[in-house]
């Protein structure tokens, strides 16, 4: 396509987009943030997935998985929603919770989780994501350009309102980048 | 007959609103010069503590340099936050470049928007040293600048004042002979806790006879609340890509001032060519188009200033071949040649004692000891930074690297992928619960990382030209890059590696907890620095340079070219302060030329 045809085509696509976009339409190739286009969330999760799962059970399992006893219930509800509406993980959550119900009365729950959930090729998948959600407020999902390669993935922030509250930052006694760190010069001393 | 486009008279047109463009526009507008600023990109929304930019970053998958600015940038390298196939990574969604190893790719990028790359820059402001300006005379390599450090020194002072630089004036005085006639306007940003441990560990240590000194890094970030009406730094630790509080200096602030002094800004206006009188070489018209319309518009002025960076400036000159077939201001044939970066050698380790990283600005201390010396007749000088953010720079710690979005070039094997990150602890090592929490606490608080930015020699075969067949989304030919780091830089990278090892061992790192090399090419380039130098070189002789000592194009006497593209040598200093000093000095020359 020569230069002139390309410009004409770009102009046509601008004018046809104009009517449907709130923002100024741009030629092809100028992208808005399209991380959200890879978000496989359904607008409404299947009601049965979330309704059957008790939030307090989910929080309890999360406590064992993260090693953190103080977990916020509202955040937990948001994270449960994220998982239940994600096509990669939604179907696995009920299975994970069923298994957890079986082992939660055992003497050493963390050991049982390791041997019966983390060692299980299927159940470890959602369990791992629960850890990432609490620690980082993100899921680690397959790279749409290379979905079968487990060495590459992308981080997905489906509950970005919790980005600053990732556990990793409080465990490190630091703060999420882009959030307030402390008064001027706080970095010159170790954290209290 | 009515003209389809509107041409207006201005005194000066400035193309680009980054480090150079903002300062020259402000400096001229303040003296009542009528200035038109043309910027290819859009203006980012700055309201309410930059809330929408912060939100965009929080949502972003890659959290890369461009993450807050998606949608506001004109076509540029790494313009997307989405996963890219390998042949569009490392800026190759825009740069036309053959696939190659990391050391044969140009790994520096920028932002085309109002304020330019100064939105995401780290904020380090280092002066060059006297010998940087006379490499040929002193060391028999590279080129000499047509000016000396002493010519630029008063302008360094002015630039430091305009930007607001915090530094230790005693420590920084006379670094390799770079005398300071004035103190920094603000006292230094405090060293981090980790810096202090390094300093203690390396006291009385030398490498190859050169004593290693850890000094506070001069930076353009407020240590005094209220300097230029902006707050003191509160360590959001996100300087790259965005400071939410404006404590870090940005060119945007000088754009704002320029506008208050009466300059005019047209954003989303992409300059497509300069038209010149073929005989005199004078620039007669600046032709541009807006994002929303393919119609050509144009403007004229007595003087035109190119300040669009070291890739976009030569690209525009070469595209402007309608009256002069080699492009504007290119009788020397050197436009686009001598492309240089500061290739980085990056290494990391676990220190014996916790350093409590991920707090404060990304780097508050460095080593200037190797920025000059007799060794420069054979190997590149370098400047070493101590980072305050764990292994984040290397592998995305604490989360683990997102390998798919912009900036990755995978033709070298990456060693130690995701080492020390949650991805490794959980996915690879199977840690959960209390064990996981303990491991995060124990290992991540000990993550130390240093990198060294190494000097390259100017090589005419390292160049940017234009690919007439490959067009950007606006139908404009994309820049074609041919680049490779040379042996001189490799030898510098090798020395840097020795220094890194010494630093880690001094911090009590066990050998098995040290990763000196990130790739299978130990003296190769790990990353670029974002420093784009050399492509419109300054010199005395029109036959072998593009601009004169005042940054005026030799072959177009009403055209000034600013930015690090004019640097004859790269030095080991971050270029921004030198860009700023040269821009302020050029404003002076422009003013004189207008009144003569």
pLDDT in tens, B125-174: 999 999 999 999 999 999 999 999 999 999 999 999 999 999 999 999 99
B71–A31 C-beta distance less than 8 A: yes
Mean pLDDT value of segment B520-533: 96
Residue of B nearest to A2 (CA): B469
Percent with pLDDT over 70 in chain B:
97
Mean pLDDT value of segment B425-446: 97
A90-138: pLDDT as tens digits: 999 999 999 999 999 999 999 999 999 999 999 999 999 999 999 999 9
Q: What is the 3-state secondary structure (H, E, C) of A28-96?
A: CCCCCCCHHHHCCCCCCCCHHHHHCCCHHHHHHHHHHHHCCCCCCHHHHHHHHHHHHCCCCCCCHHHHH
Contacting residues of B for A25, CB less than 8 Å apart: 292
Omega before B241 within 30 of 0, i.e. cis: yes
Percent with pLDDT over 70 in chain A:
72
User: Is residue A182 in a domain?
Assistant: no
Contacting residues of B for A152, CB less than 8 Å apart: 403-404
Check residue A5 and give its pLDDT: 38
Residues A27, A104: one domain?
no
- pLDDT-derived band at A53 (thresholds 50, 70, 90) equals confident
Residue of A nearest to B430 (CA): A118
B82–A187 C-beta distance less than 8 A: no
B204-224: pLDDT as tens digits: 999 999 999 999 999 999 999
Q: For residues B335 and B317, is the Cβ–Cβ distance under 8 A?
A: yes
Report the residue from B56, B83, B192 with minimal CB separation from A144. B83
Distance from CA of B293 to the nearest CA of A (A): 7
Please give the Cα distance from B65 to B59 (Å, whole number).
14
User: Is residue A78 in a domain?
Assistant: yes
Between the alpha carbon of residue B548 and those of residues B316, B360, B407, the distances in Å are: 19, 41, 34
Domain count, chain A: 2
Contacting residues of A for B357, CB less than 8 Å apart: 172, 174
A155–B438 C-beta distance less than 8 A: no
What number of residues does chain B have? 596
- pLDDT-derived band at A37 (thresholds 50, 70, 90) equals very low
Residues A24, A67: one domain?
no
Distance from CA of A109 to the nearest CA of B (A): 10
pLDDT: which is higher, A147 or B514: B514
Residue of B nearest to A153 (CA): B402
Q: For residues B361 and B470, is the Cβ–Cβ distance under 8 A?
A: no
Q: How many CB atoms lie within 10 A of CB B52?
A: 14
B356–A174 C-beta distance less than 8 A: yes
Classify B77 as helix, strand or coil. Answer: coil
Contacting residues of B for A174, CB less than 8 Å apart: 237, 356-359
Phi and psi angles of residue B383, each rounded to the nearest 5 degrees, phi first: -125, 130
Check residue B309 and give its pLDDT: 98
Check residue A8 and give its pLDDT: 38
Residues A6, A70: one domain?
no
User: Is residue A181 in a domain?
Assistant: no
Check residue B389 and give its pLDDT: 97
Q: What is the mean pLDDT of chain A?
A: 81
Check residue A26 and give its pLDDT: 52
Residues A147, A169: one domain?
yes
Mean pLDDT value of segment B223-243: 97
Q: For residues B147 and B136, is the Cβ–Cβ distance under 8 A?
A: no
Q: Evaluate if residue B29 carries a pLDDT over 90.
A: yes
Residues A135, A157: one domain?
yes
Beta strand ranges found along B54-200 (DSSP E): none
Instruction: Please state the domain extents for chain B.
Output: 9-595
pTM for this predicted structure: 0.92
CATH value of B9-595 in 1.10.3720.10, 3.10.310.30, 3.90.1580.10, 3.50.50.60: 3.50.50.60
Closest CA to B173 of B221, B209, B216: B216
Report the residue from B399, B402, B437 with minimal CB separation from A68. B437
B83–A7 C-beta distance less than 8 A: no
- pLDDT-derived band at B456 (thresholds 50, 70, 90) equals very high
DSSP-derived pairing of the beta strands B35-38 and B9-15: parallel
Range of the domain at A96: 42-176
Contacting residues of B for A131, CB less than 8 Å apart: 422, 426, 432, 436
User: Exposed e or buried b for every residue in B392-401, given b needs 16+ CB within 10 A?
Assistant: bbbbbbbbbb
Check residue B9 and give its pLDDT: 74
A64–B432 C-beta distance less than 8 A: yes
Q: What is the mean pLDDT of chain B?
A: 95
Q: Evaluate if residue B547 carries a pLDDT over 60.
A: yes
Please give the Cα distance from B178 to B188 (Å, whole number).
18
Contacting residues of A for B389, CB less than 8 Å apart: 177
Contacting residues of B for A26, CB less than 8 Å apart: 71, 291, 473
Check residue B48 and give its pLDDT: 80
Residues A150, A64: one domain?
yes
Residue of B nearest to A169 (CA): B358
Contacting residues of A for B433, CB less than 8 Å apart: 64-67, 110, 113
Residues A117, A172: one domain?
yes
User: Is residue A191 in a domain?
Assistant: no
Residues A52, A120: one domain?
yes
Check residue A7 and give its pLDDT: 36
Q: Evaluate if residue B515 carries a pLDDT over 90.
A: yes
Between the alpha carbon of residue B380 and those of residues B141, B384, B457, B537, the distances in Å are: 10, 13, 8, 20
Question: Looking at the DSSP assignment, which residues form a beta bridge with residue B414?
Answer: B519
B422–A168 C-beta distance less than 8 A: yes
B291–A24 C-beta distance less than 8 A: yes
- pLDDT-derived band at B83 (thresholds 50, 70, 90) equals confident
Check residue B454 and give its pLDDT: 98
B258-273: pLDDT as tens digits: 999 999 999 999 999 9
Report the residue from B81, B191, B291 with minimal CB separation from A26. B291
B54-76: pLDDT as tens digits: 999 999 999 999 999 999 999 99
What number of residues does chain A have? 192
Residues A83, A115: one domain?
yes
């Amino acid at each position: 396509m020569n230069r002139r045809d390309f410009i004409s085509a770009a102009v046509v696509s601008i004018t046809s987009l104009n009517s449907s976009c709130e923002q100024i339409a741009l030629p092809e190739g100028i992208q808005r943030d399209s991380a959200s286009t890879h978000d496989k969330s359904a607008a409404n999760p299947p009601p049965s997935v979330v309704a059957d799962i008790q939030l307090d059970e989910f929080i309890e399992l999360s406590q064992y998985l993260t090693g953190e006893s103080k977990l916020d219930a509202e955040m937990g509800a948001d994270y449960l929603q994220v998982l239940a509406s994600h096509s990669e993980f939604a179907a696995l959550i009920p299975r994970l919770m069923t298994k957890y119900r079986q082992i939660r009365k055992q003497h050493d729950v963390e050991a049982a989780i390791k041997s019966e959930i983390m060692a299980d090729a299927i159940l470890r998948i959602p369990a791992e994501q629960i850890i990432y959600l609490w620690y980082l407020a993100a899921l680690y999902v397959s790279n749409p350009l290379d979905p079968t390669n487990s060495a590459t993935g992308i981080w997905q922030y489906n509950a970005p309102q919790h980005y600053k509250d990732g556990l990793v930052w409080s465990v490190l006694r630091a703060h999420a980048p882009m959030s307030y760190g402390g008064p001027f010069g706080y970095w010159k001393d170790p954290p209290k | 007959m009515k003209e389809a486009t509107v041409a207006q008279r201005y005194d000066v047109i400035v193309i680009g609103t980054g480090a150079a463009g903002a300062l020259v526009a402000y400096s001229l507008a303040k003296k009542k010069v009528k200035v038109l600023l043309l910027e290819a990109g859009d203006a980012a929304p700055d309201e309410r503590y930059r809330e929408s930019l912060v939100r965009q970053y929080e949502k972003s998958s890659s959290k890369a340099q461009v993450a807050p600015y998606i949608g506001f940038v004109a076509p540029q390298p790494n313009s997307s936050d989405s996963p890219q196939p390998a042949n569009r990574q490392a800026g190759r969604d825009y740069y036309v470049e053959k696939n190659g190893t990391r050391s044969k790719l140009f790994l520096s990028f920028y932002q085309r928007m109002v304020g330019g790359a100064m939105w995401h820059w780290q904020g380090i402001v280092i002066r060059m040293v006297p010998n940087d300006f006379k490499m040929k005379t002193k060391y028999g390599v590279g080129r000499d600048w047509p000016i000396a450090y002493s010519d630029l020194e008063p302008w360094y002072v002015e630039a430091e004042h305009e930007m607001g630089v915090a530094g230790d004036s005693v420590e920084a005085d006379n670094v390799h002979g770079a005398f300071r006639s004035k103190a920094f306007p603000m006292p230094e940003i405090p060293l981090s806790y980790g810096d202090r441990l390094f300093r203690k560990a390396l006291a009385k240590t030398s490498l190859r006879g050169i004593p290693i000194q850890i000094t506070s890094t001069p930076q353009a970030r407020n240590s005094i609340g209220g300097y230029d009406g902006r707050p003191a730094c509160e360590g959001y630790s996100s300087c790259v890509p965005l400071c939410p509080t404006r404590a870090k200096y940005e060119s945007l602030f000088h754009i704002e001032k320029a506008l208050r002094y009466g300059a005019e800004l047209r954003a989303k206006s992409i300059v497509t060519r300069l038209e010149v009188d073929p005989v005199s070489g004078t620039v007669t018209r600046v032709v541009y188009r807006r994002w929303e319309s393919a119609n050509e518009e144009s403007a004229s002025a007595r003087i035109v200033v190119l300040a669009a960076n070291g890739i976009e400036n030569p690209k525009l000159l070469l595209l402007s071949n309608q009256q002069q077939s080699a492009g504007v201001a290119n009788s020397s044939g050197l436009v686009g040649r001598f492309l240089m970066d500061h290739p980085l050698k990056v290494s990391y380790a676990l220190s014996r004692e916790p350093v409590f990283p991920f707090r404060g600005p990304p780097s508050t201390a460095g080593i200037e000891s190797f920025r000059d010396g007799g060794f420069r007749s054979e190997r590149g000088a370098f400047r070493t930074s101590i980072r305050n953010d764990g292994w984040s720079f290397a592998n995305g710690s604490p989360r683990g690297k997102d390998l798919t979005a912009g900036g990755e070039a995978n033709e070298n094997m990456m060693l130690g992928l995701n080492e020390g990150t949650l991805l490794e602890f959980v996915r690879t090592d199977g840690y959960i619960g209390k064990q996981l929490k303990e491991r995060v606490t124990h290992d991540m608080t000990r993550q130390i990382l240093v990198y060294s930015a190494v000097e390259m020699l100017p090589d005419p075969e390292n160049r940017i030209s234009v690919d007439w067949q490959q067009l950007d989304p606006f139908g404009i030919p994309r820049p074609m890059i041919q680049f490779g780091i040379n042996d001189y830089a490799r030898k510098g990278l090798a020395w840097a590696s020795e220094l890194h090892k010494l630093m880690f061992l001094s911090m009590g790192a066990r050998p098995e907890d040290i990763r000196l090399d990130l790739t299978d090419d130990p003296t190769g380039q790990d990353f670029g620095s974002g420093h784009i130098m050399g492509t419109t070189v300054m010199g005395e002789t029109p036959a072998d340079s593009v601009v004169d000592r005042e940054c005026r194009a030799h072959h177009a006497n009403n055209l000034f070219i600013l930015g690090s593209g004019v640097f004859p040598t790269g030095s080991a200093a971050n270029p921004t302060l030198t860009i700023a000093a040269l821009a302020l000095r050029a404003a002076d020359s422009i003013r004189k030329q207008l009144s003569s």
